[in-house]
Amino acid sequence: MRQIAVSNKKLRGIPRRLRSLEKWASRFEGFSRPQSTPKEKYFNWKIPVHSALVEGNQTTIEIQAFCVMQLLRAAKYLADAAPDNPKGYYRVACLLTWPWLHRSEVTIFYSQDYYKGFLGEQNSLAPERISEKLGLLLPQSFIEHGHDVTQPDDETTVQWWCLGQQA
């Protein structure tokens, strides 16, 4: 369940929360979601964790890496379960906001133009790679594009990463 931290209390039950996320990702095995209406451009699932698990001073790079890996597992399951010849466009990606991982999601795109808007023409943060920072192996068919989306009032650098299938 997604929750936002409203206090700085120590987050309890971290191993249980990580197991729950792992179970969530495994539920996508063999699952595909067809486009419900012709105008639907995407469908997404936000990361189902407490915000303090992936953001703030209580988290660790290992916990963040584990959580992103579960998003990638879910995305890989969705990509593998896609119909061989769908009647339309079907691509799966993980959209990550670094360091604000609570905003991250697994998304199915039903519009190539809409997906290309997220993916971008090239990785503007190259040679930097979020997968290297977190020590992750991307699924074989996935690519990685990142963009700096830092705003003038942000206190830290904010990056937007799209880890997903080729457009």
Per-block mean pLDDT, blocks of 10 residues, the chain (167 long): 62 94 96 88 95 90 96 96 77 94 95 86 84 93 91 91 91
- Predicted confidence at residue 6, as pLDDT, reads 53
- Predicted confidence at residue 28, as pLDDT, reads 96
What's CA 70's distance to the chain center, in Å?
9
- In angstroms, the CA 121 to CA 147 distance is 11
- Predicted confidence at residue 71, as pLDDT, reads 97
- Predicted confidence at residue 167, as pLDDT, reads 84
- Predicted confidence at residue 35, as pLDDT, reads 84
Angle between helices 14-26 and 61-80 (to 10 degrees): 10
Residue identified by tokens 């936002």 is 4
- Bridge partners of 98? 159
- Predicted confidence at residue 56, as pLDDT, reads 83
Q: Which of 34, 31, 45, 29 is nearest to 90 (CA)?
A: 34
